[in-house]
Structure 1
Amino acid sequence: MEKGLEISFQLKNDREGQETVLALGNITGNDLKGELELDWRIFHVTLGENKFFKVLYTGKKVGKLHPGVEKKIREHFDELSKLELKELLKQYKEKQASGDFKKVDIKELKEEYDLWQDKFWLYF
């Protein structure tokens, strides 16, 4: 992904894990969307036998040319991830009730290993 920021992480694949992912991704996106003109997507990725979550943030100001913006998004996401689950979900419900809250749902995505991008192949 050239223009954007990808945050990948692994949680239990249960209802609680999905609620956590939705809260982290959507609160971060909504808190920063006005200031940074953000758009985002949330994925549940299957790669071989591994499963993980991926949140992609994109926008005009997100990318390699704006490292400060990427840092701001990561820091906000990290701050939220340090909250107790009950507090995070409470904050999520309150923000959803505020009205101007964009909710992005989790989409399933299946990826395959791309050996040509593996650094091992760069040595040949």
Structure 2
Amino acid sequence: MATAAGVFALITVIGMIPRMAGVTRTGHRVRIYETAIALGGGIGNLVDLCNFPLPFGIMGLSLFGICCGIFVGCLVMSLAEIVDVFPIMIRRCRIKVGFWTIIVAMALGKMIGSFLLYGKHLFS
């Protein structure tokens, strides 16, 4: 459930829902989008935690795969737009030298965080 909360936080921080509503010109339906994502996350958690069998067959699995692909594509595009912020930040903050240290620090932070998260099972 913590992972689901992290995904919801990521979706909120990157502004994926308002961005998609703006692109599709359906801003008046943002409440429906938010409700659908919250219900999908909640129901997905229940199905995963309680091991409910879902007898939807090959067609249901195909539809689920397509929807997952669309979601991942939207998420990747939203993250790609955030990466475009780095050149703007460098210009605005007038960073001339040492930008590589910021990148290395971010990478090391991700690496150490991953080791702490996944490595704790190795030593317990």
In the superposition, the TM-score normalised over structure 2's length comes to 0.28
Higher strand fraction: Structure 1 or Structure 2?
Answer: 1
Decide which structure has the larger Cα Rg and report it: 2
Higher helix fraction: Structure 1 or Structure 2?
Answer: 2
Higher relative contact order (CA 8 A, sep 6+): 1
In the superposition, the TM-score normalised over structure 1's length comes to 0.28
